[in-house]
Amino acid sequence: MVATDKVFAGSIPETYDRFLVPLIFEPYATDLAGRIAGMKPRHVLETAAGTGVLTRALASRLAENVRFVATDLNQPMLDRAAAQQPPDRRLTWQQADALALPFEDRTFDVVACQFGAMFFPDKVQGYREARRVLQPGGRFFFNVWDRIEDNEFADVVTQVLAAVFPDDPPRFMARIPHGYHERATIERDLASAGFAAAPRIETVTARSRAASPRIPAIAICQGTPLRNEIEARDSTRLGQATDVTARAIAARFGHGAVDGKMQAHVVTVVR
């Protein structure tokens, strides 16, 4: 991981929320929220909440007596999330590092993390903190992206940018979002964090859809820290990189509405 891999600031939160959330995150937020709501929890913590796609899905499903805290490392992402969520007496927004949670031991009966674990510089410590704040018998729910080859838009963008910047290809998408997909590694890290029970890991395939090829190009090139990598190589070429990837997506998926495969692992483990 490099310093910019977990920086979601500037225009990234708005672009992320406008383009990337409906493109890839909403189907998995619906899935994860349904799993969590089925447990009928009373005290829920969400880490790495981003712009709140899972937060909103949970808010529509959780009971009226639930206490619910949504956290993220990046305050600009939480600001964007809070601006879109109607006032809800159950919900508290709080900036927090998932590797050093500011909560007492055994506080929550569910901890949830939607596509955030890949960004933890120390996965075991992130899992250890989730376990620490869980009550005995509580559950940790999270999901992570499968390998990049099973996530078609991200794969196309990564291949195209390798041609645009041949001397130093931007590898953020392969390195971070799609770099933590080995089941054995996830199981080992959870065990190292103190989870004695074996996790349940389900691979869930879904479709990523957009009205035009330009939408996934903008979403991935400008709505993730990949933007930081592109601009670090040449601050004048972000527009060109976006245009080239849009043309490549059109060449593969068509010039109208586009539809690509995406795939992730959904993990549940009991404290």
Instruction: Write out 42-75 in H/E/C secondary structure.
Output: CEEEEECCCCCHHHHHHHCCCCCCCEEEEEECCH
Q: State the Rg of the chain over Cα.
A: 18
Q: Which two tokens stand for residue 68?
A: 């619910």
Determine the Cα–Cα distance for residues 232 and 214; give it in Å rounded to an integer: 22
Residue 138, pLDDT above cutoff 80: yes
8 A C-beta contact, residue 186 and residue 267: yes
- pTM for the structure as a whole: 0.93
Question: Where residue 7 falls among pLDDT bands split at 50, 70, 90?
Answer: low
Mean pLDDT of 129-145: 98
pLDDT at 145: 98
Domain chopping of the chain, boundaries: 3-270
Instruction: Give the CATH number of domain 3-270; options: 3.20.20.70, 2.60.120.370, 3.40.50.1970, 3.40.50.150.
Output: 3.40.50.150
Q: Which amino acid is at 257?
A: A
Contact of 128 with 97, CB cutoff 8 Å: no
Summarize pLDDT for 233-253 with one digit per residue, the tens.
999 999 999 999 999 999 999
From residue 64, give the alpha-carbon distance in Å to each of 8, 37, 86, 211: 32, 12, 15, 36
| Confidence (pLDDT) at 4 | 52
**Residues above pLDDT 70, as percent of the chain:** 96
Mean pLDDT, the chain, rounded, equals 95
